[in-house]
Amino acid sequence: MSKREFINYVKQAMDQGGVSVERRSKVMAAVIARQLAYQLPLPSSPTNITVRNWYLNNNSLDVERVLSEINEIYPVNVKAVLDITYSIWIIRYRICFTPSSISLVSLLTLDSPTTTGGVVVGDFNDNEKRVLGWSEVKAPQNLFDC
């Protein structure tokens, strides 16, 4: 599935799922960010530099390139997508390398508008959650390669 097909599928899912026009940009930002974050590589071992610097040095250019391509197809809140992508990726990193540091508080920071470009991820209603679930099933194997 190409990026365009994926975006069209999510748009169709939002139509069928009854997602309001006002909320579509938030849902789309979360869908794209989740797909990007799940597909980004993690370091093979804990980093010697800050985790944020490792992410910026190794992932940010690819994320920005793909996001630019997606933004040509469907305009998105770029800051929100970048922030949510990093928030999800850092949780993956912590689960792998510092699982004892994971707490309910650290997971809840994903719902902070200051860490996610103003998109409160936990603020989705049932229709929007269904779209998020549908998009996971139909996601491209790798957004970076299509």
pLDDT of residue 144: 58
Structural contact between residues 70 and 3, judged by C-beta atoms closer than 8 angstroms: yes
Could you give the C-alpha distances from 44 to 36, 60, 93, 96, 97, in angstroms and in order? 19, 17, 10, 10, 10
pLDDT of residue 111: 46
Per-residue pLDDT tens over the stretch 20-61: 888 889 889 988 998 899 999 999 999 888 999 999 999 999
**Ranges of the chain whose pLDDT falls below 50:** 110-120, 137, 146
pLDDT of residue 79: 93
pLDDT of residue 36: 92
Q: Give the whole-angstrom CA distance, residue 14 versus residue 84.
A: 20
pLDDT of residue 115: 44
Q: What 3-state class would DSSP assign to 138?
A: coil
pLDDT of residue 138: 52
Is the Cα dihedral 44, 47, 48, 53 positive or negative? positive
- Which distant-in-sequence residues (6+ apart) come within 8 Å of 73 by Cβ? 3, 4, 7
Structural contact between residues 109 and 87, judged by C-beta atoms closer than 8 angstroms: yes
Tokens 């508008």 label which residue?
A: 113
pLDDT of residue 132: 67
pLDDT of residue 6: 86
pLDDT of residue 120: 47
pLDDT of residue 146: 42
Q: Which residue type, as a one-letter code, is found at position 59?
A: N
